[in-house]
Chains A and B, each alone.
Chain A
Amino acid sequence: MISKLLQLLFKHIDAFLMTCLFFALLTSLFVLYSASGQSLERVYAQAVNMGVALSVLWVVANISPQKLERVAFALYVLGVLLLIAVALFGSISHGARRWLNIGFTQIQPSELMRIAMPMMLAWYFASREGKPSATNFIIAGFLLAVPVALIMKQPDLGTSLLIASSGFYVLFLAGLSWKFLVGAAVSLLALMPIFWSMLHDYQRKRIEILFDPTQDPLGAGYHTIQAIIAIGSGGATGKGWLNGTQTQLDFLPERTTDFIFAVFSEEFGFLGNMLLLTLFTVIIIRGLMIASQAQSTFSRLLAGAITLNFFSYAFVNMGMVSGILPVVGVPLPLISYGGTSMVTLCLGFGILMSIHTHKNLVAN
């Protein structure tokens, strides 16, 4: 009886991926305890976030990819409408219009887009027969550009670029021609100055400080400088859990959210960093394996895009905290404190597990 219940419970859960997630989430709780100044409250709150996120994961894992494929278009349209609503009625905080008040709570429609975008594009390519034509790619590019432009206008440069990249992954995996890719890369470089002129001042500042954080050591560069000091002073094996001076003495900004990696890095050192990189790599490889074994175009493209999207978040966050990328306000996936991003991530992993565990049913 119990074994049957367990079987029902774990039928659509990928044990390997789940174990990896479990280690990542456990790490998150420990690092958070240190980063929050040993606040158990914060840890409990994050545990609740994880509980909610894992429930979402379980529900989504139990929905078949076919059903997901059917709601893809509706979800995308909903997302775009919400983004338009944000632009019109959204509430402003920290100089950006990102949140929408829907009565009982506030939502951030750009988070929904992180899943809706790859789903939409995967659905689009799956619904075309045969090898996608150039026209298909142009239409897909348009579907990609609308929400990205809306998010960029909020303004939220980091999220808009990451959502653009999640859409791009679908295009890439769907077989966007190499000629086009190279051409796009070249013209992107050529368009750089125009792009620069379109940026907001704070975005330019961020980019300038990327190349030289010492330009504004007490202002915008302060975060990066303190984070780099934290990482560097961690050394080979770190200062030990709860012993990071940069962390414990408040030098690190945003240390439970965007800069939590600096806390981890200071306390666990190079060794810890390598282990975390390995864990992320294993998760990514597993995700790409699921994509590779997926049986429909939709699930293949979606699994690939979700996995690579996870990669971009991890890379951009660690890159920005260690000072090789601009500070764009992206959390470290699975580790940073925060409910919304945790739920969105687990939703993605739920889709991966759904794709992986439903394929035999399709074959049957």
Chain B
Amino acid sequence: MGAELKNYLHEQHYFRVRLGVAVLVVFSLFALLAFRFSYLQLKQYNHYQTLAENNRISLVPIIPNRGLILDKNGVVLAHNFFAYTLEITPAKVKNLEETIADISKLVEVSSLDRKRFKKIREQSHSFESVPIRTHLNEIEAARFAVNHYRFPGVEIKSRLFRHYPLGKLGSHMVGYIGRINDKDLKNLEESGDLSNYKGSDHIGKSGLEQFYEKQLHGTTGFQQVEIDADGHAVRVLSSTPPTPGDNIILAADSKLQEIAETAFGAHRGALVAINPKTGEVLSYVSQPTFDPNLFVDGIDSENWKALNESLDKPLINRPLRGVYPPGSTFKPFVALAGLEAGKRAPPFSIQDPGFFTLPGKKHRYRDWKPSGHGTVDIQKAITISCDTFFYGLAMEMGIENLTSFVRHFGFGRKSGIDIDNKNGKSENGGLLPTPEWKQRRFKQPWYPGETVIVGIGQGYTLVTPLQLAQATAILANNGVAMKPRLVSHIEDAQSGKKQIIAPVIQDRIALNPNNVEIVKRGMIDVTLPGGTAASVGANAGYSIAAKTGTAQVIGIKQNEKYNESTINERHLDHALFIAYAPAEDPTIALAVIVENGRHGGSTAGPIARKVMDYYLLGKVPATEAAKENKTLTGNTAVTTTIPEEELHD
């Protein structure tokens, strides 16, 4: 019994020692916890307090309304409307294919929608929501809302959409907005505007939408909201309203734009009309056009392919980036260069044998009229577009003198017009060739013959329709160069206050008024009987100063005859036409280029006439459609009724 008790006491003692060790372990581990708590809650309190606040409070951007684009009469070219979209956040969806299949049971999802979704998804991060359907109607939105719980990661959003109500009309001018891509983000970051784009998912991509992005976008507002872990707003703590973007008002008139575009018919080409006194662009045509609405929510690959691969190249902004040899439309400027250099002043005249040869050379630079024009002075040379006269003048002036003079008229440099001049998608500056340029470009010396053909606007010389229109406007304005611009006013969307964009004088070219007068008279005669565009001026009711031009698309070999009936349609000459009116006090100056239109007087001229008729007289071409068909189907019939002078320039 004693031994047992002793054993029991021994065992109990031993057990209590072990318990003591356990108590020590308990205390030390609990102390470890207490230490951890003191670290988190006392030492690091501020840190975690901030984190909790950041968790709790979220800044929700309020996207400003994008400014409208209006024509001079207030006709809307670009506006916004609210519509429902169905958006998927790929990162939150387990099986994307299945989810889309399930959604399509509730609301229609076309193959085009799927393609667009795929394309946008490839360009965005997995945590960004991507629209699978846009423009849901009320019934579709309601039907999805009822089933929303079945689709985690799919949200209905009410979003502001950009819409271009006039569609294809003036689309190269207006441009379009598109979804912000990585490149845009980089640009925004560099310009420091990124924070203003929180919540925005669109940005101007081309045209005025791009150039006036800053004004149109407005300032993003913010709401400080308390959110739960799913990001749902629980309540608003404070709010800063957004400032809507400014409206921009164009100098152009959409009706004039429509007339101009219709006048092109099925032809490709460009037209730019400028008010020479202000630099305001009155019409800006690039044909063919495209529907900018296709681009707003990411163009699907089918439409993209159709636009991008079309031989007609509808996406090219021809006035800005299309370069063409100016042909004979260059002659008035060459003539002025000669007069200003003290050469060829009346009564100087030449006897035109129908060709020009360089001293000691056999090569014949042919006039468009093989028999020659007889006695030709400088004014007549413009009126009848005498090549021989300008060959000799160019030769005598030399290439350097010639190009340095015409450069003042904007050739060979960018106009700085308010469109598309950002993000490296810049205006084409055209080309005024010089010996240095040729050495640099081709590592070859300049040949005198190359100077000869620059005299008639051929050779390396390249201009954009915009440059040609601007040069015409400068000439019409007696050498005062106004900076061309599409926008005349910027309107504060809230107050309605309009701010005029003041005309900017780019340059005042010192010109002898007498010389200008000689050139202008030559150009006025162009539209009078005997001139190369007599039919354009017929019965106008106002005087028109003009110059026709033809630009070769393919070179014609020596002794080979240009035969338009055997040439592929796309290798036909480009038709050019420049004009300003009324000739005494011009308010409109324009340049028209009709690609493969052959003769400036017969194809480009009538387009210019329609534009001037509407602009100056308010005359709307009555049988627009009927005429179009005739020009398209009965080319030969139309051209044969035009006198010989107009068949060339």
A binds B: yes
In the bound complex, do residue A277 and residue B19 qualify as a contact, i.e. CB atoms below 8 Å apart?
A: no
Interface residues of A in 224-265 (CB under 8 A from B): 226, 228-236, 245-246, 249-251, 265
A229 vs B42: C-alpha distance when bound (angstroms): 13
Whether A46 sits at the interface, judged by CB under 8 Å, is no
Partner of A229, one of B7, B14, B55: B55
Q: Which residue of B lies closest to A237 (CB)?
A: B41
Question: Which residues 192-220 in A have Cβ within 8 Å of B in the complex?
Answer: none
Q: How would residues 22 to 44 of chain B score, 1 for a CB under 8 Å from any chain A CB and 0 otherwise?
A: 11001101101110111011101
Please encode chain B, from 512 to 527, with 1 for each CB lying within 8 Å of some chain A CB and 0 for all others: 0000000000000000
CB–CB B26/A245 < 8 A: no
Structural contact, A322 and B52, CB atoms closer than 8 A: no
A297's nearest neighbour on chain B, judged by CB, is B11
> Which chain B residues border A284 with CB–CB below 8 Å?
26
Most A C-beta atoms less than 10 A away, residue of B12, B23, B44, B48: B48
Q: Is there contact, CB below 8 Å, between B33 and A277?
A: yes
Interface size on B, residues (CB 8 A): 39
B311 within 8 Å of A by Cβ? no
Residue of A nearest to B35 (CB): A324
In the complex, the answer to whether A175 meets B18 with C-beta atoms within 8 Å is: yes
In the complex, B76 has a CB within 8 A of chain A:
no
Contacting residues of chain A (290-344) with chain B, CB-CB under 8 angstroms:
291-292, 297, 300, 304, 308, 311, 315, 318-319, 322-324
Task: Give the secondary structure class of A's interface.
Answer: helix
Would you call A113 an interface residue if the criterion is a C-beta within 8 Å of the partner chain's C-beta atoms? no
Stretch at the interface among B225-233, B332-340, B567-575: B225-233
From A228, A232, A304, A319, B22 is in contact (CB under 8 Å) with A304
Residues on A with C-beta less than 8 A from B229 are: 226, 249-251
A106 at the interface (CB under 8 A from B): no
CA distance A318 to B41 in the complex (A): 14
In the complex, chain B residues 221-277 whose Cβ is within 8 Å of any chain A Cβ? 226-230, 234
Q: Take A292-B15, A319-B33 as given contacts and tell me if A232 and B55 are in contact as well, using a CB distance cutoff of 8 Å.
A: no
Segment of A16-24, A267-275, A352-360 engaged in the interface with chain B: A267-275
CB distance from A229 to the nearest CB of B (A): 5
Residues of B within 8 A of A130 (CB): 7
B30–A232 CB distance below 8 A: no
- B55: nearest chain-A partner, CB-CB: A251
Which chain A residue has the least Cβ–Cβ distance from B91?
A: A218
Docked Cα-Cα span, A300 to B23, in Å, equals 15
Flag whether A173 is at the interface (Cβ < 8 A).
yes
Please tell me if the beta carbons of B23 and A322 are within 8 angstroms of each other in the complex. Answer: no
Give the size range of A's interface with the partner.
Answer: 35 or more
- Contact partner of A231 (CB less than 8 A), chosen from B14, B34, B37, B226, is B37
Distance of A236 Cα from B55 Cα, bound (Å):
20
Complex formed: what's the CA distance from A10 to B19 in Å?
28
Chain A residues whose CB sits within 8 angstroms of the CB of B42 once the complex forms: 235-236, 270
Looking at the assembled complex, report how far the CB atom of B442 sits from the nearest CB atom of chain A, in whole angstroms.
Answer: 59
| Residues in chain B near residue A277, CB distance under 8 A | 30, 33-34
Q: Is A288 at the interface (CB under 8 A from chain B)? A: yes
Known: A274-B34, A318-B33, A322-B40. A288 touches B45 (CB 8 A): no
CB pair A292–B19 under 8 Å, yes or no, is yes
CA of A228 to CA of B7 in the docked complex: distance in angstroms?
51
Instruction: Specify which of B22, B26, B56 is in contact with A172 (CB 8 Å cutoff).
Output: B22
Question: What A residues does B51 contact at CB under 8 A?
Answer: 229, 232-233
CA distance A289 to B258 in the complex (A): 99
Per-residue interface assignment for chain A, residues 11 to 31, with 1 indicating a CB less than 8 Å from any chain B CB and 0 otherwise:
000000000000000000000
The answer to whether A270 touches B37, judged by C-beta atoms less than 8 angstroms apart, is yes
Given A169-B22, A273-B34, A311-B26, 13 extra CB contacts under 8 A: A173-B19, A226-B55, A226-B229, A231-B48, A233-B48, A236-B45, A246-B52, A249-B55, A277-B33, A288-B22, A311-B29, A322-B37, A324-B33
Of all A-B residue pairs in the complex, the 8 with the closest CB atoms, nearest first, are A232-B48, A233-B52, A250-B229, A270-B41, A232-B40, A250-B228, A249-B228, A233-B48
- What are 13 residue pairs bridging A and B, where the CB atoms are less than 8 Å apart in the complex? A231-B41, A232-B47, A232-B49, A236-B41, A249-B228, A251-B55, A251-B228, A269-B41, A273-B37, A274-B34, A292-B15, A304-B19, A322-B37
